Structure 1
Amino acid sequence: MRARVVALTLAVGLVGTCAAPAAAGQHALLGTDPATGTDARPDVGAALGDAGTAAALTRLLAGSVPDSSLLPQAADLVSPTRSFEGGIGLSTVSVDTGAELPYERAIARAVPAGTALSARAPATGDSLVRTAPPSEAEPARGKLPPEEGPLAALMRTERLAGQVHARWSVDRGPCVGQVAKATTTSGPISLGAAVASLPDVPFTELGLPGRMPSGSIATLGGLLSGRAGEGPLVRVPRGLTTVATVDVLTAAKRPTVRATSRVEADRIDIFPGSPLAMTATVRNAPALTANSTGKPETSRIVHDTPVVEFKRGGRTLFRLDRTRPARDVPIAVPGRGFAQRGLTSQPIVDGYGVGTNGKPVRLSAANRSRVTELFVLRLSVGGLTTRSATLDEPFTGHQVTGSARLLDVQLLPTDALTDALERDHELPSTLAHFTLGEQAVRAAAPPSGARCGEPGAGEVTIAAPPDEIAPGRSSAPPIRVLLWGGAGLVLLGAYLLAVARPRKQD
């Protein structure tokens, strides 16, 4: 089980935790009797669901950005003791009938960018947020400003738009069908103009035998451009849409809480600025759904595993799906005894070099064994992790959680690179880590199934929620933070340290 995915699942489990409301005025807000302290609130029903989807995430290990990095802005994201996890194009929804404040029962939020450290700090840029009760007839729509801080050095998109909607019934509480929905739609996404964790050192200074590329190891010898938005490691040319929803289904045999995370994408490019670029076509976009009936035997996680096909030109290279979810792509340089005419000095990717005519050239069988692998590009899909548990609060019931992703991209160093740099630079176990379409869901219900509220349960006893969570735009974080829980940050370092390096090449 991948620790990163476990971290996200645990983060979903922590969604229910939030800052305690201020003591002043609590009796009026919560409907309690100040003399006895008894709960005078009406029965608002019983349902709990969360869903979150991120267009793209990136992760950096503490202290992994050297002083000579080609992306010095990335150093502002980490410290010698603090790792970093952040993303763009976030859609999150939360439904909690046990919320103390009425307007927290249903929340939908579209966020341009966020980090694991922003759970209690202002979010980056303006967000779109809707809360209920009371319900609004129409969703809120608007443009979201792209990230302009240090995170933009690692990942950027040209434009973002969001749509959010939250609903609640005065008579039936959460039993309105779709209770909350959030959507973000991006323009082209670029990830990794250079490798932030590598020093700006020429290949020729590694002291390895053979003909070295002329560029820096931080740009993988010209596979990357080193300039934001141009020649990145990963590009999604037509953008990506993230959707998160929570529904309460009362027409089913047993009333069900359903939380769904969807990712919509059609094409992903790897090394798009190089003749060795690979084009990935998404044949089956993933959907991740948590269904809870309150009974373990009928509650489940449903996952449509993505199918991603990689090509170069018109030639199919490989396909990632349920049966083969991962592939390692070696990146090498010519070693001792390598001799093949008509090649430029660019690195060799999965047995292909760049010819002097600018086109990919497959190495001969003899030369494929005479290279020194310095990096491995690890591509993987799915990564489904599920968990079920008995729930005690805000009601007794059964809970299921799940997490998955569309495509995970990791750049790993080999022992050959680590040994060549160990005198002057200590490399992290993962040099770069990007994820497209991160998904997390949670759903819970009492044993009898999702329960509707009694008449009047949706009436709000205060005029409006405070400014930081008011319907419309907001620059503050959501009360429920789905993808950015503390568990994700705590386990991030353990995950990166646990990633196995490729074996040293002889």
Structure 2
Amino acid sequence: MPSRLSRALVPPVAAALLVLMASPAMADSTIPTTPIPVPASPGQPPFSAPEGPQPLGHAVADAAASLGVLRLLPNAVPTSAILPGYGEQLPKQAAFEAGMGLSSAQANSEAFFSWERAVAQSSPAGVAVGGNAPQPPGGLVQTALPDNPKAITGGLSAPPNPLGTAGLITGSVHARWSPTLGPCVDTIADASTSVAGLSLLGSVPTLPDLPFGQLPNLPKLASGFDPSKGLQTFGGLLAGGGQPSADGTGALLSLPGTLSTHSVTKLVDLPNSPHKAIQSVSTMNVAEIDLLKGTPLALTLKVTSEPTLRITSTGDKATSKVEYSAPVVTIERQGQVLYTLDAAHPTEDIPIGLPLKALSDQLGTGVQSLPVVGGLVATATKGPRQLSVTNGLVLDIGVLRLSIAGLNQKEQQLTTPFDGYQLGASARLLDLQVLPTAALKAALPNGAADSLPSSLAQVSLGEQIGRAYAPPGGVVCGSTSPAATSPAESEGAPRQLAYTAGAYSAVPMFWTGSAMLLLGVVLVAAFPSRRRTRATAEPSPRRRSRP
């Protein structure tokens, strides 16, 4: 039945969504669901028992995608766990994570509650602090059972976020499940989210907020460079302040136009077999990405192919597969292609540095109060100038590391909750990391940069993840028959139970007494009482008359 976030579904859905968003290539044995209730005493009967025909098919799958995931200080916070010492074996979490434009589709035949068998969710945003993930409001969720003939569509409201701004957000969710055939429906779960514009990082809050003029170890900067603007805005390159501008001006990264994510879990045909394979599909649609929009050093990233992650599990390792169409991204400045990111060249580093006095002397003109990005310097009179050599002319303070794909794959042969083969994978359209350099660490006083992690901030665009888990031979589409009592079993059964107490006769006695009482009332009403007359009537004496 279509519904908003409700019931006990909120904790498992929130946990699953943020696990998918924050942990690439997760391939646990089960998908997070509501724990199965345990009887209070050993002799207590189970909470519920199936009635009627039950589905034969076993299938577990999920797919999720996000338009953008921002991580501050990734791999910096230890993971907490209930079991003592287990948290040390898990990878560290980011200090802060925020995702925008999330879509998630899940199918789980092993879920205890019926409304967890199929879940489709579209959410404008998700947040995790140190690995703890509260569920923000404003999303759409549809669950099954019961089955839903129609999808839910509607607008979503993104909560205010000082690190990002999103435009109009719309979502669509559809969850299907058959009471008798289980996952053997057209599409199990389908979720999509679209955003009209996205801007991220108007500043880098994890950088120490020290103005360049207070760094004693820095060489002399070029004349005209404003040293009063701190590191958090790259010396004025970013807008700083509160929430980034909606049009992307002054933001480190912005995405104009309409962006969308789409996640689907479904069954597909197996060649030469009546059984099915379980498949999860995650896609993202984005055409253009802007870096440092509104500055003379702006870059434009154009995506020429749509990234699609498709995971299919047949239950057998030989025939299960992961298919990923990697995107091709070209980095342009004023119509000129500077770099191309593809499968052969998946990574490119763009250094950010401070212009030194030697650079101003060589150019013979003033330098604007902007850092040098990728060897491009903004001059006061001659506009942007590309430098072929920056050694001795620029002091690097950071690096924008761009990388695509990053496909991670994990596989497992499982026996619980059923024997089968599970395949999981994750990929990203684009990773942008803000990395400190050795020059920055040397410039900070008193070893202030010794505690800086390898990455101060990480923005992942088009993060996709999925997994599929099926029994050997594929998913069986069918149902069981209700159990019938055989004649042999009925012959040995007693015809009537023994009377061990008078309580067995309490109900018949009650109704017998009630019937007799009612009969008496009827008889009394039908035959009213009359005076009895004497059998022999004597003449009554006459009164004597007075003389």
TM range (shorter): 0.7 to 0.9
1:112-151 aligned at under 5 Å gives the runs 112-116=124-128, 122-148=134-160
> What 5-or-longer segments of structure 1 have no aligned partner?
34-39, 66-80, 458-506
Does the CA-based 8 Å contact 1:193-1:233 persist in structure 2?
yes
Q: Which residue of 1 aligns with 2:368?
A: 344
Q: Which residue of 1 aligns with 2:115?
A: 103
Please state if 1:219 is matched with 2:242: no
SS of corresponding position for 1:175 = coil
Equivalent in 17, 23, 27 of residue 8 of structure 1: 23
Does the CA-based 8 Å contact 1:295-1:447 persist in structure 2?
yes
SS of corresponding position for 2:442 = helix
Shift of 1:422: 4.2
Equivalent in 176, 186, 190 of residue 177 of structure 1: 186
| Matching residue's letter, 1:209 | P
Equivalent in 409, 433, 436 of residue 413 of structure 1: 436
Deviates more, 1:178-187 or 1:14-23: 14-23
| Matching residue's letter, 1:243 | H
Distance in 2 between residues matched to 1:106 and 1:13, nearest whole Å: 18
| Matching residue's letter, 1:54 | S
Q: Which residue of 1 aligns with 2:49?
A: 31
SS of corresponding position for 2:154 = strand
1:91-490 aligned at under 5 Å gives the runs 91-116=103-128, 122-148=134-160, 152-207=161-216, 208-211=218-221, 213-214=225-226, 215-227=229-241, 228-230=243-245, 231-250=250-269, 252-254=271-273, 255-335=276-356, 337-338=358-359, 339=361, 340-342=363-365, 343-357=367-381, 359-363=383-387, 365=388, 367=390, 369-423=392-446, 425-426=448-449, 427-454=452-479
TM-score, with length taken from structure 2: 0.73
Q: Which residue of 1 aligns with 2:57?
A: 45
Distance in 1 between residues matched to 2:30 and 2:385, nearest whole Å: 51
SS of corresponding position for 2:296 = coil
SS of corresponding position for 2:142 = strand
Distance in 1 between residues matched to 2:142 and 2:301, nearest whole Å: 35
Distance in 2 between residues matched to 1:301 and 1:196, nearest whole Å: 38
Give me the CA root mean square deviation. 3.0
Does the CA-based 8 Å contact 1:9-1:401 persist in structure 2?
no
1:40-79 aligned at under 5 Å gives the runs 42-61=54-73
Distance in 1 between residues matched to 2:401 and 2:312, nearest whole Å: 32
Distance in 1 between residues matched to 2:397 and 2:133, nearest whole Å: 39
SS of corresponding position for 2:115 = helix
Mark the CA change 1:7 to 1:87 in structure 2 (over 3 Å): closer, same or farther.
Answer: closer
Question: How high is the sequence identity, in percent, across the aligned residues?
Answer: 35
> What 5-or-longer segments of structure 2 have no aligned partner?
1-18, 78-92, 483-547
| Matching residue's letter, 2:399 | V
Mark the CA change 1:394 to 1:41 in structure 2 (over 3 Å): closer, same or farther.
Answer: farther
Deviates more, 1:112-121 or 1:269-278: 112-121
TM-score, with length taken from structure 1: 0.78
Does the CA-based 8 Å contact 1:325-1:382 persist in structure 2?
yes
Distance in 1 between residues matched to 2:140 and 2:219, nearest whole Å: 55
Instruction: Kindly provide the CA deviation profile for residues 244-292 of structure 1, in whole angstroms up to 9, marking residues without a partner as x.
Output: 1001013644521110111110010011121111000110121111110
Mark the CA change 1:367 to 1:8 in structure 2 (over 3 Å): closer, same or farther.
Answer: closer
SS of corresponding position for 1:418 = helix
Shift of 1:12: 4.7
| Matching residue's letter, 1:414 | T
Does the CA-based 8 Å contact 2:409-2:424 persist in structure 1?
yes
Which of structures 1 and 2 has the bigger CA Rg?
2
Does the CA-based 8 Å contact 1:110-1:129 persist in structure 2?
yes
Q: Which residue of 2 aligns with 1:69?
A: none
Does the CA-based 8 Å contact 1:262-1:286 persist in structure 2?
yes
Deviates more, 1:335-344 or 1:213-222: 335-344
Does the CA-based 8 Å contact 2:27-2:423 persist in structure 1?
no
SS of corresponding position for 1:410 = strand
| Matching residue's letter, 1:156 | T
Instruction: Kindly provide the CA deviation profile for residues 408-449 of structure 1, in whole angstroms up to 9, marking residues without a partner as x.
Output: 010001111112114273333212111111111000111111
Does the CA-based 8 Å contact 2:264-2:282 persist in structure 1?
yes
Asked which structure has the greater RCO (Cα within 8 Å, sep 6+), the reply is 1
Does the CA-based 8 Å contact 1:275-1:358 persist in structure 2?
no
Deviates more, 1:193-202 or 1:435-444: 193-202
Deviates more, 1:81-90 or 1:121-130: 81-90
Shift of 1:56: 1.0
Distance in 2 between residues matched to 1:322 and 1:332, nearest whole Å: 28
Mark the CA change 1:22 to 1:422 in structure 2 (over 3 Å): closer, same or farther.
Answer: farther
Deviates more, 1:343-352 or 1:281-290: 343-352
Does the CA-based 8 Å contact 1:6-1:385 persist in structure 2?
no
Distance in 2 between residues matched to 1:159 and 1:232, nearest whole Å: 18
SS of corresponding position for 2:23 = helix
Shift of 1:225: 0.6
Shift of 1:89: 1.3
Mark the CA change 1:206 to 1:24 in structure 2 (over 3 Å): closer, same or farther.
Answer: same
Distance in 2 between residues matched to 1:199 and 1:106, nearest whole Å: 46
| Matching residue's letter, 1:18 | T
Q: Which residue of 2 aligns with 1:493?
A: none
